[in-house]
Amino acid sequence: MNLRCAFCQTPYTLGRTEKLIALQQMETEKLSHYDAHCPRCRKATPVERQKMEVTFPNWRDALHELEQQAEAVADAPQGTPASAPKPESVSAPKAESKPKPASSKTHKRSHTHKEK
């Protein structure tokens, strides 16, 4: 949405993501306006929540989608490549699982096969 700085009259725009963040913030903090910061003088120009909602009527859906995406990345099930490549974590060692041949036989034999 297009804004104009109240102080230096610089026109600037709020992107979709920016609006989404703003609307989320207003929702959680129960605010009726958002302080959009001018890119030139960095002063805050209040934008009424209503006005922003008008330009982004389905923001709740968009936010919900965004949250789902974030969750999917956060607890990615194994095998799903996240944005950052993880170093392969140490998997369970496989070498240790050899079944030992029963030693009881040889043990037994040494005792029982004593012939006189």
Residues that bind Zn ion (CB under 5 A): 5, 7-8, 10, 38, 40-41
Q: Which two tokens stand for residue 102?
A: 């029963």
* 36/59 with CB nearer Zn ion: 36
Cβ nearer to Zn ion, comparing 40 with 51 = 40
- Closest CB to Zn ion among 42 and 108? 42
CB of 37 to Zn ion, least distance (A): 9
Q: How far is the CB of 43 from Zn ion (least distance, A)?
A: 5
Which residue, 5 or 26, is less far from Zn ion as judged by CB? 5
CB of 11 to Zn ion, least distance (A): 10
How far, in Å, CA of 77 to CA of 74, rounded?
A: 9
CA distances from 54 to 18, 20, 40, 87 (A): 15, 12, 26, 45
Tokens of 24: 């989320």
Pick from 42, 39, 36: nearest CA to 22: 36
d(Cα 7, Cα 39) in Å, to the nearest integer? 12
Name the minimum Å distance from CB 15 to Zn ion. Answer: 17
